[in-house]
Amino acid sequence: MMVVSKYGFSDIPSSDGARIAAQVVSGIGFLGAGVIFVRNNLVNGLTTAAGIWATAGVGLALGAGQYIVGILSAVLIIVMQTMTHRISYFAQVASCGFLRMTIAQKNGAVKNMEEFLEREKVEIASVKINKNKKDEIKLEFEVIYPPGFDKGALLSKLAEESAVMAVSE
């Protein structure tokens, strides 16, 4: 973005076109900050915010007529995003998510589900419980999965439980 700011707007006499680039950088940075969330000491959206910011830089370069810089930057961004996605996929880090389920209403049903998740080594961060008149309980667990956890296997095990009527992630 500095190259675009320095050399991209030099064809406008008696004005400072580089201010455009400076305002785009700060404005997109502000918008990108809205994409970043911290929940249970886990940061989500940082790569997305960086991608938005980098894409704005590519747009500035192309808009300023610096096509080679813009195209090379776009290719570099795509390569880096692909590489970091693959690295994070193989990294052994915890991940968070939601488990939503409908279970039959009976004594100790919620406690049984909590114990089931604990046996599966899934940490429960929060629980929302909604009872309805159909003898069903709707549960929403915010959970932290251990590193390398197989979420599909957990959903299959939950679906096999007799008390579980519906389950989704």
68/31 same-domain check: yes
CA 48, 52, 57, 58 torsion-angle sign:
positive
Q: pLDDT category, 35, cuts 50, 70, 90?
A: confident
Q: pLDDT category, 71, cuts 50, 70, 90?
A: very high
What letter represents residue 3's amino acid?
Answer: V
What letter represents residue 112's amino acid?
Answer: N
Which CATH number do you get for residue 102?
Answer: 3.30.70.260
**pLDDT tops 70 at residue 43:** yes
User: 6 lies in which domain range?
Assistant: 2-90
130/164 same-domain check: yes
The pLDDT value given to residue 12: 63
Average pLDDT over residues 54-74: 89
162/120 same-domain check: yes
pTM of the model: 0.52
**Stronger pLDDT, 105 or 90, i.e. the higher one:** 105
135/62 same-domain check: no
Copy the structure tokens of residue 142. Answer: 């915010």
**pLDDT tops 80 at residue 39:** no
- Please give the distance of CA 62 from its chain centroid, rounded to a whole number: 28
Comparing 42-51, 71-80, 83-92, the range with the smallest average pLDDT is: 83-92
Helix ranges, the chain (H): 2-7, 18-33, 46-63, 67-90, 109-119, 151-160
One-character DSSP codes across 47-96: HHHHHHHHHHHHHHHHHTT-HHHHHHHHHHHHHHHHHHHHHHHHS---EE
